[in-house]
Amino acid sequence: MTSSYHHAELEPLVRAMLDGGLDETQWAQLAYLLRQDADARAAYLHITTLHAALNWQAGNTQATWPAAKQTDAPAVVGRLGGRWRWAAIAALFVVVVTAWFVALPDHEATRSAPDAQDPSPSGYAMLSDLSSDAVFADDSHPAALGGDLPSGPLRLTAGRAQVLLDGGAVVDLIGPCVFETIGPDHAQLTSGQIDVYVRPEARGFTVETPAGVRVVDLGTRFEMQIDPAGATNVFVHEGRVQVEFAGRHEQFEASEAVRLADGQWMMRRLGTGDDAIVEHFDDAASRGLNAALEDHAGVYTFTRKIAENTGNRNFIRTRATQFVTMDFIAEVTCTLPANSAGPNIVFFGIGGGVPDPSEWDNPIPALYFEAPPMRIEIDSGVDREDSVVHQFSEPGPGRHRLQIRKLGDAVTFAIDENYQGGAFHADQACTLSLSKAAPFLDSTNSRIFFGSQQASEPSTFDDLSIRILTGTSSPSHIQQEN
Amino acid sequence: MQPSREFVRLLTDSQSRLYAYIFALVGDEAAVSDVLQETNLVLLEKCDEAMAASSFTAWAFGVARRKTLVHWQTRGRERLVFDESLLKMLADDGACAAEKTAGRMGQLKRCIGQLPDLARRVIDARYQAGQTVSQIADLIGRSTTATSQLLYRTRLSLLECIQAAEADAEEERA
């Protein structure tokens, strides 16, 4: 006898889902079937609910409940991305519930009025995530995680927050940042940096700036920042956006960027490859380093398909010295061991890429990442002490991808923490005026460099990429049409 | 913002239903506990509002649905197979199905007890021992495909058994 819950098309998909895992094609097939067929939806819900009940009954899925008394709820809310985030949320759940259990009054509380409203979005967006180090200016602290954003600007002074707009856009705010939602698909960026993702069907999301820049999403992922000089910088990672400014509008595609200031458009496009410097170190041990790079003191080995120092602190650097005159995106992945100390310190920056013997062999003259602790430092030359320009929240040991991006006078240092591969997604970022922060850099001493020193458990580097942003008078699709 | 004992009881009692509901909307065991934790976090932080809602469960399902949408929108950003419109289709009926979960646990246990030996072994291996289909196939000496089919049909048998028990109970009440 055929079960009333049987559905021939559904069966192989649900079997795969419950007992093995669906591939991309099967997910799409399942979604299509569930959209089109009410019987399939009903059967799907019955079977998945039964599966969940069986799992629950077997004790495979117990929620995390308080295990020990603790009265101080931590500031930790959760890290964006990856396992750290979920671990932190789970930890918070345990601790907060415990704190509340401990604080429970002896009497039974009574329920509130039954005619109160069920929750429904009252604003234009909800706060969908926060990093552990997120800090808001007091008067702009949003509702709790999952709550609707209040009206008015959201002033994130540090860390990272994610906002889900009712129109479907997902906006990551990278502090310090002032951002305001002014409609379900409309927002204003007053300062700082945002990373925006809008799925194709939610296109039309618009961000404006006080300087009169308007960016209309056409189904894409893009970054937008207002730098210290007040310029608006837009980088398109996927899809296309329309930018409107000073009575003109242009569309930009993936790998294109534009800097807008004083009524001027400065358009850039990532080089196609000839001018890029890419070194994965996979066969550098046998064929030598990429010809565009040099191991300044010959102390690096690549036998493990990564770059690791076997001698004193020194640097691998570009042969080209004029990066201060160019726009570029430079990235390298560094792995910091658990027991980090002096020898494990890593450097990645723009500058001379030579060690300063009078100061721990730190790089000079340079503006650079240094970790741990993760920070931006500056050192103008021999016998001049280095100084911290910006201190990041500590990402801790692990594999992190570091990025230095220059567009005009704006130089952004960004970190993709616990990097798993793929496109770079900034967890933290700091943008500086290059001319103000490092006026000593010029066309003779501005290389891209990285380095560390020998250690029993060394920090290592992998997958260096330096891509040039070339100037263009118009976006690529306009040129193609011509 | 301090939760009452009643809030804690409602939150505890809702866990199996929320788990079932989120699983139906997420379809991925690895992700469901993450979404459940996120949902619980919101429920805890907004316990006053939760208690003021006319139905705690409906409120909790509302939060879970929203967290599920965020999960789909932020997961593998290049694709969104369960989008808002599909989640909407699944959500109301899914809430109804999940709502029944807690009440069905007793019947489910009885129905498992009534299964033929082989089917019972397969269910126990899959859920109690947490074995994979290929491990179970080795255990019972059948092919992976045949074992997967047996497991699936046993689930359908359990649904039929629960439905029949509910119909009997309904008849008795009438």
Q: Which of A47, A56, A65 comes nearest B19 by C-beta?
A: A56
> Average pLDDT of chain B?
82
Domain A277-472 in CATH 2.60.120.200: yes
- Each residue's pLDDT tens digit, A390-416: 989 888 899 999 999 999 999 999 999
Q: Which of A118, A144, A201 comes nearest B54 by C-beta?
A: A118
Q: Which of B37, B45, B133 comes nearest A86 by C-beta?
A: B37
Residues of chain B contacting residue A108, judged by C-beta atoms under 8 Å apart: 4-6
State yes or no: cis peptide before A343, omega within 30 of 0. no
Q: Scan residues 203-242 of A and list those with Cβ closer than 8 Å to B.
A: 221
- Domain B104-173 fold: Arc Repressor Mutant, subunit A (1.10.10)
CA distance A438 to chain B (A): 37
Which range has the worst mean pLDDT, A51-55, A89-93, A136-140, A416-420?
A89-93
Q: How many CB atoms lie within 10 A of CB A165?
A: 24
Q: Where are the domains of chain A?
A: 10-57, 65-100, 125-270, 277-472
Q: Which of A3, A41, A101 comes nearest B160 by C-beta?
A: A3
Q: Report d(CA B24, CA B59) in Å as an integer.
A: 17
Count of residues for chain B?
A: 174
Place of tokens 């308080």: A66
Q: Which of A17, A45, A120 comes nearest B97 by C-beta?
A: A45
Contact B98 A113 (CB under 8 A): no
Please state the separation of Cα A236 from the chain's center in Å: 14
Reported ipTM: the value is: 0.91
CA distance B114 to chain A (A): 15
- Whether residue A31 lies within 8 A of chain B, CB to CB, comes out as yes
Quick one: closest CA in B to A17, which residue? B27
Q: Report d(CA A61, CA B30) in Å as an integer.
A: 10
Q: Residue A479 is which amino acid?
A: Q
Contact B152 A11 (CB under 8 A): yes
- Each residue's pLDDT tens digit, A83-128: 223 333 333 333 333 333 333 333 223 223 223 333 333 357 877 7
- Check: CB of residue A334 under 8 Å from CB of residue A459: yes
- Check: CB of residue A343 under 8 Å from CB of residue A399: no
DSSP A457: S
> Average pLDDT of chain A?
81
Contact A19 B148 (CB under 8 A): yes
- Each residue's pLDDT tens digit, B97-120: 777 766 677 788 889 989 999 999
Q: Report d(CA B138, CA B79) in Å as an integer.
A: 36
CA distance A215 to chain B (A): 20
Residues of chain A contacting residue B156, judged by C-beta atoms under 8 Å apart: 3, 5-6, 47
Pick the CATH number of A125-270 from 2.30.130.10, 3.30.428.10, 2.40.240.10, 2.60.120.1440: 2.60.120.1440
Q: Report d(CA A290, CA A284) in Å as an integer.
A: 8
Q: Which of A27, A49, A114 comes nearest B24 by C-beta?
A: A49
Q: Where are the domains of chain B?
A: 5-99, 104-173
A with B: how many residue pairs have Cβ under 8 Å apart? 233
Contact A31 B16 (CB under 8 A): no
Contact B16 A56 (CB under 8 A): yes
Evaluate whether A125-270 and A277-472 have a shared fold: yes
Buried b (16+ CB within 10 A) or exposed e, B114-145: ebeeebebbbebbbeeebebeebbeeeebebe
- Each residue's pLDDT tens digit, A173-218: 998 999 998 888 899 999 999 999 886 666 789 999 999 999 999 8
CA distance B3 to chain A (A): 7
Q: Report d(CA A205, CA A219) in Å as an integer.
A: 9
Q: Report d(CA B41, CA A404) in Å as an integer.
A: 36
Q: Report d(CA A297, CA A318) in Å as an integer.
A: 13
Mean pLDDT, residues A221-232 taken together = 93
Query: What is the reported pTM?
Result: 0.57
CA distance B168 to chain A (A): 17
Q: Residue A275 is which amino acid?
A: D
pLDDT attached to residue A473: 63
Q: Which of B5, B83, B132 comes nearest A108 by C-beta?
A: B5
Q: Scan residues 289-318 of A and list those with Cβ closer than 8 Å to B.
A: none
Name all contacts of A164-168 with Cβ < 8 Å and 24+ positions apart: A164/A125, A164/A126, A164/A128, A164/B69, A164/B70, A164/B73, A165/A124, A165/A125, A165/A205, A166/A121, A166/A124, A166/A125, A167/A124, A167/A202, A167/A204, A167/A205, A168/A198, A168/A199, A168/A201, A168/A202, A168/A205, A168/B73, A168/B84
- Each residue's pLDDT tens digit, A258-283: 999 988 999 998 876 677 999 999 99
Mean pLDDT, residues A58-77 taken together = 37
Determine whether B88 is exposed, middle or buried from the number of CB atoms within 10 Å of its CB (0-12, 13-18, 19+). exposed
Beta bridge partners of A266: A259
Nearest to A180 by CA among A192, A189, A171: A189
Q: Report d(CA A186, CA A182) in Å as an integer.
A: 6
Please state the separation of Cα B146 from the chain's center in Å: 25
A206-208 and A186-198 strand pairing: parallel
DSSP string, A65-123: ---S------S----SSHHHHHHHHHHHHHHHHHHHHHH--SSPPPP--TTSPPP---S
Mean pLDDT, residues B40-67 taken together = 79
Contact B6 A111 (CB under 8 A): yes
Q: Report d(CA B103, CA A375) in Å as an integer.
A: 55
- Check: CB of residue A457 under 8 Å from CB of residue A344: yes
Contact A92 B41 (CB under 8 A): yes
Contact B128 A108 (CB under 8 A): no
Which range has the worst mean pLDDT, A68-72, A148-152, A330-334?
A68-72
Q: Which of B49, B127, B156 comes nearest A55 by C-beta?
A: B127
Residues of chain A contacting residue B106, judged by C-beta atoms under 8 Å apart: none
Instruction: Identify from B17, B32, B123, B148 which residue to disrupt to test chain A contact, counting A C-beta atoms within 10 A and taking the largest count.
Output: B148
- Whether residue A64 lies within 8 A of chain B, CB to CB, comes out as yes
